[in-house]
Amino acid sequence: METFALYLIKSVAWLTGFALVFILFLRNERFFVLNRVYLIAGILTSLFFPFISIHYTVVLSVVKSMQVESAVVSDIQNAGTGIFSNFRLFLLVLYVMGILFVLYQIIRQGRRVLSAINKSEVITLHPVKLIRTPEYTTAFSFFSYVFVNPSITDIETAEIMNHEMVHIRQKHWLDLVLVELLCIIQWFNPLAWIYVRFMRQNHEYLADEVALQRTSDPAIYRAALLNQIVGAPVVNLANSFNYSLNKKRFNMMKNIIRSPYRKMKILLILPVFAIVLWAFAKPDYKYKNTEQYPVSSMASVSVQQHEVKGKVVEKDGSALPGASVVVLNTNQGISTDDKGFFKLDIPENGTIVVSFVGYKSKVLKPVFTSEMVITMVRDTLKYLKANISTPPPPPPPPVNEIKENSGAAPQPSPLPLINEVEEISSITPPPPPPPPAESGVSIAGDKQPKSAIDKEVMVIVEALPEFIGGTDAMTAWINSNLKYPADAVKSKITGKVLVNFTVTAKGKIENVVVIKSISPVLDAEAKRVISSMPDWKPGMQAGKNVPVQLQVPVEFKLN
């Protein structure tokens, strides 16, 4: 429903822009054909342009790993949510009732016209069919039919036919069908009904312009109009001969020459396009890895520059294209080419920083006498499945922290980073206790799935995975699908379950693990709802989709 509501808001914005430009600049101009094209364009734009979204890029800097921070709250007695849901349902019902009412009016008027056609004699005057009926006091055309009251004289009938023939030949009924469709969708928008008036009024100006050229006596034509002044339009899909019969319509019949340059006013719609497209533009967030380096006191820098060449590779010797090579404490830098090579001019006493998203950055003194070969080490993460029925033991800290703080108690980290994958064997975390059978986690002694253990996943990428619609949409989806277990409600168990999961390169949710437990029933529910999430937009690294590990805290709260 939110998507359709956004469509309606965009549609109203487009129609409002077109209507305002027409009211302010075009409604008094005598370029009737151009005005017709403009009015039709406004309807089509308001119906179809809401599906078009302009995107712009927003670059965000991240330091090391980034987690999805979304406190998802399940509140079984949230009166505010219930009231909001009821209000949305009320608005939906009201909107549908408005559509049904407009459709009823159109159908009722159409049936009356068809009844008049069946009861009356049809006089065929190709391509027009004339019907004389006492059911209508005013003359009008309905598709290829022209309705005239029998009391109207033959002279007046001839002038009316001359006028209505223009409506039929120029197919003005197509415009009326289009504008009625607009009113069905935007029945709540006053400008939509005003737009109908603009369209009908311009039709009469077009018909008057042609009819006056064909009539033998313009005075008789104007007199026929005045004789119809007491009538009123009776059918939405009809062009009434006496529609908008006022002083302005007669003034529009005057042959006044206007400068063709006044047609340029139609270009005033271009700022409307820019404003509306900008107002509804969507940001595309790109994440850029940044790290903080100690800033040494600025020593005197030699003005002379020296060239340093090199190649950035991975541990297996393969090239690393797109790596960043910059001079420390400056904005001078370059990226490696598709073969991993770089060439950079730097001061003799300068320092270079080599970095790439997902790898440990290196700070090096340049070598000017030979080509440098810089091997980058990936920042990887390994994990073991945790038992969701009991709080798991603290995960191991980074290996480099153990080396630097030998003998100190390790500090727990919810998402440990292992700087050297080969060294993980030196730290053996206690095996998790067997989980409940319903949890779906392998028990002790079973062979762990290959996808769940000893698998490298990225924690720093150029573009993080995205839930379709963004974090707010993810929160709303989980809130609507999360069910507070009855046993937990009865026991008044509350708290926050921290769930770890992987978004695969195909956007699938895998390896859902509870790493901070509350109780078996709440852990199982948190794991269930995360596992059942729809596909995400996968994370990207170096232009390729990669698996990325994220965390979401799911909070269970009772009023």
Contact 235, 136 (CB under 8 A): no
Structural domain includes residue 381:
no
Q: Which domain range does residue 444 map to?
A: 430-556
Indicate whether 472 and 538 sit together in one domain: yes
* Residue 29 domain-assigned (yes or no): yes
Residue 147 falls inside a structural domain: no
In a shared domain, residues 36 and 179: yes
Alpha-carbon dihedral 286, 291, 296, 301, rounded to 10 degrees: -40
Is 61 within the bounds of a domain? yes
Report pTM: 0.49
Concatenating the DSSP letter of every residue in 79-117 gives HHHHHHHHHHHHHHHHHHHHHHHHHHHHHHHHHHHHHHH
Q: What is the pLDDT along the chain (559 residues), one digit of tens a residue?
A: 678 899 999 999 999 999 999 999 998 888 899 999 999 999 999 999 999 988 888 776 554 444 444 444 444 444 455 566 788 889 999 999 999 999 999 999 999 999 999 998 888 887 889 999 888 888 888 888 999 988 888 888 888 888 989 999 999 999 999 999 999 999 999 999 999 999 999 998 998 889 888 888 888 888 877 776 655 555 677 777 666 666 677 777 776 667 788 889 999 999 999 999 999 988 876 656 555 444 443 333 344 678 899 999 988 888 888 888 888 877 678 888 888 899 988 887 888 988 876 678 889 989 888 899 999 987 643 332 323 333 344 444 444 443 344 344 333 333 333 222 222 222 233 333 444 433 333 322 333 333 333 345 665 556 788 899 888 888 889 888 988 998 888 888 898 898 989 999 999 999 999 988 989 999 999 999 999 999 999 988 767 888 988 888 888 888 7
- Residue 165 inside a domain? The answer is no
One domain, residues 262 and 328: no
In a domain, 166, yes or no: no
Cβ neighbours, 10 Å, residue 220: 14
Do 367 and 434 lie in one domain? The reply is no
Query: Residue 549 is part of a domain; what is its CATH number?
Result: 3.30.1150
Residues found in the chain: 559
The structural domain count of the chain equals: 3
- Rg of the Cα atoms in the chain: 37
On whether the CB atoms of residues 557 and 482 are closer than 8 A, the answer is: no
Residues 247 and 336 in one domain: no
Q: Are residues 351 and 468 in the same domain?
A: no
Whether 90 and 34 share a structural domain: yes
CB 200 within 8 A of CB 239: yes
Q: Looking at the structure, do residues 255 and 341 belong to the same domain, yes or no?
A: no
Q: Are 397 and 410 in contact (CB under 8 A)?
A: yes
Burial of 538 (0-12, 13-18, 19+ CB in 10 A): buried
* Domain end (from 335, 351, 375): 375
Pair (446, 533) in one structural domain: yes
List the Cα angle 41/45/47 in 5-degree steps.
120
Domain annotation covers residue 18? yes
528 and 461 together in one domain: yes
352 and 275 share one domain:
no
Q: Judge if 306 and 253 occupy the same domain.
A: no
Domain-located, residue 421: no
- CATH code for the domain in which residue 366 is found: 2.60.40.1120
